[in-house]
Amino acid sequence: MILSICILSYNTKSLTLQCLKSLEDQYKEEINKKILEIIVVDNASTDGSAEAISNFQLIKNKENVGFSKGCNVGAKAAKGEYVLFLNSDTEVNDRGLLRMVKYLKQHQDVGILGGRLLNENGSAQLSAGRFYTLLNIFIMLFGGERFGFLRSSPIEICEVDWVMGASLMIKKELFDKLNGFDENFFMYIEDMELCYRVKKMGYKVVFYPDVQIIHKKLGSSNRTFAVIYIYKGILYFYKKHKNYLSYIIVKILLMIKALISILIGIITFKKYLIYTYKKAITF
């Protein structure tokens, strides 16, 4: 078994089935020969996702344990030499995953390989990022990330700080050595933090563009959920990896952004902003 593909599913029945079909279309021979396996971890979906999945290994969690823990559950069951974490809202349209495996085999100094993600119209998603230093957090909080200051989609294979967990490949032995994703991250920031630890061990994180993966970004979270857990994730990351002063500065930056957003919400009568950022700063 060379590759285990772990897909986390939570109330994304249609998307998950489309993802599985795309994999089966591209890798039917490898699946039949048990060169490649697909593991679906269902986080207690209520939309019939688990009941609709057949032909592939299915692990049903009794509750929604989040992205990090759900992926770890899948990885524990994986038999492949390499593990690919793949979002349920993706479609794989070529055989580039095998090229990714080959690249990792040939480059033992690379710990994590991130596959290029595309929008449904074929344009590139900004799926490689720079670590959230204090300066970068300021840029991110006040809109710079959406304009490509912190994220990119390189056209050539290159080393980056971190890659999105929507398409992240790692050697299983290394993933186990790292004890997987840190389960203190329910969702968001866990991919960056894993890459951070991989780099601390002396490995490279590399972006790999020679693969066709459509990422629909229609998963199971909403904007409010994302803001809250990004805030929580950034704070935990700094508490775990940085000094106390840096943690306090980050906390202040997050508070300032939240208060500005709440004020804008009051002025513009946008209850969503008020609710979201009040929840986000309930540290």
92 and 26 both lie in a single domain: yes
DSSP-assigned letter for residue 123: P
**Tokens 């290029």, residue?**
116
| pLDDT score of 234 | 97
68 and 196 both lie in a single domain: yes
**What element of type H or E holds 39?**
strand 36-42
Per-residue pLDDT tens over the stretch 73-122: 999 999 999 999 999 999 999 999 999 999 999 999 999 999 999 999 99
147 and 258 both lie in a single domain: no
Per-residue pLDDT tens over the stretch 29-77: 999 999 999 999 999 999 999 999 988 999 999 999 999 999 999 999 9
116 and 64 both lie in a single domain: yes
Domain boundary among 198, 215, 232: 215
pLDDT beyond 60 at 125: yes
pLDDT beyond 80 at 190: yes
**Tokens 């935990």, residue?**
236
78 and 194 both lie in a single domain: yes
98 and 237 both lie in a single domain: no
**Tokens 């495996």, residue?**
101
Domain boundary among 173, 195, 215: 215
Please give the Cα distance from 145 to 21 (Å, whole number). 33
* Predicted structure pTM score: 0.94
Please give the Cα distance from 212 to 59 (Å, whole number). 27
Please give the Cα distance from 173 to 81 (Å, whole number). 7
Per-residue pLDDT tens over the stretch 231-256: 999 999 999 999 999 999 999 999 99
User: Residue 50 sits in a domain of what CATH number?
Assistant: 3.90.550.10
Strand partners, 170: 83, 112
CA 178 to chain CA mean position, Å = 17
106 and 134 both lie in a single domain: yes
21 and 152 both lie in a single domain: yes
| pLDDT score of 219 | 58
| pLDDT score of 221 | 63
Does the CA dihedral 199-188-165-63 come out positive or negative? positive
Reference 208, options 156, 245, 259; nearest CA is: 156
DSSP per residue over 61-72, as a string?
-SS--HHHHHHH
Per-residue pLDDT tens over the stretch 155-181: 999 999 999 999 999 999 999 999 999
Token pair for residue 124? 């590139």
Q: Which amino acid is it at 16? A: T
Domain boundary among 215, 248, 268: 215
**Contact (CB, 8 A) for 115 and 213:** yes
| pLDDT score of 247 | 98
Mean predicted confidence (pLDDT) in 18-38:
97
Per-residue pLDDT tens over the stretch 191-227: 999 999 999 999 999 999 999 999 997 655 688 999 9
Reference 178, options 51, 38, 72; nearest CA is: 72
249 and 122 both lie in a single domain: no
Could you tell me the residue range of the domain that residue 80 belongs to?
A: 3-215
Residue 135: phi and psi, rounded to 5, are -65, -45
The angle that helices 134-141 and 244-268 make with each other, rounded to 10 degrees, is 10
**Tokens 């601390």, residue?**
200
113 and 17 both lie in a single domain: yes
Q: Which amino acid is it at 164? A: M
141 and 251 both lie in a single domain: no
Number of domains in the chain: 2
Please give the Cα distance from 8 to 73 (Å, whole number). 10
259 and 198 both lie in a single domain: no
